[in-house]
Amino acid sequence: MRTRTRALVIGFAAAALAAPVVTAPAQAASPPPRTGFETTNGARWTTQPEEQDFLSAVDRDSSRVTMSAIGTTAQGRPLQLLQIGTHRTSTTMLLICSQHGDEPSGREACLTTVRDLAYAKDKKTLDFLARTTVLVVPTANPDGRAANTRTNSHGVDINRDHIALKTAEARAMAAVIRDHKPEIIYDLHEYGATSPYYDKDLLALWPRNLNTDNRVHAEARTLSESYVRPGAQDAGFSSGIYGIWTDPVTGEPLKQVAGDGQERILRNTAGVKHSVGLLVETRVDPLTPAEKKDPALNNRRRVGTQLSALTGALTFADERRAGIKRATAQARLTGFADRGPVYLGGADNDPAEPTEIIQDPPCGYHLSSSQYADVEDELALHGVVSHPRAEGAYVPLRQSQRDLAALLLDERAAYHLTTGRPDTTC
The CA-atom distances, in angstroms, between 205 and each of 14, 67, 105, 403, 414 are 22, 29, 18, 21, 22
Asked whether the beta carbons of 150 and 59 are under 8 A apart, the reply is: no
Q: Where are the beta strands (DSSP E) in 73-223?
A: 78-84, 91-97, 132-137, 184-191, 202-205
Instruction: Go through the domains of the chain in sequence order and give each one's CATH number.
Output: 13-330 (3.40.630.10), 336-423 (no CATH)
pTM, two decimals, is 0.94
C-alpha 55/C-alpha 71 separation (Å) is: 17
Asked whether the beta carbons of 263 and 269 are under 8 A apart, the reply is: yes
Single-letter residue type at 289 = P
The β-bridge relationship of strands 342-343 and 357-358 is antiparallel
C-alpha 206/C-alpha 233 separation (Å) is: 18
Cα-to-chain-centroid distance, residue 195: 27
Tens place of pLDDT per residue across the chain (426 aa) = 444 433 444 444 444 343 333 333 434 457 899 999 999 999 999 999 999 999 999 999 999 999 999 999 999 999 999 999 966 778 999 999 999 999 999 999 999 999 999 999 999 999 999 999 999 999 999 999 999 999 999 999 999 999 999 999 999 999 999 999 999 999 999 999 999 999 999 999 999 999 999 999 999 999 999 999 999 999 999 999 999 999 999 989 999 999 999 999 999 999 999 999 999 999 999 989 999 999 999 999 999 999 999 999 999 999 999 999 999 999 999 999 978 999 999 999 999 999 999 999 999 999 999 999 999 999 999 999 999 999 999 999 999 999 999 999 999 999 999 999 999 998
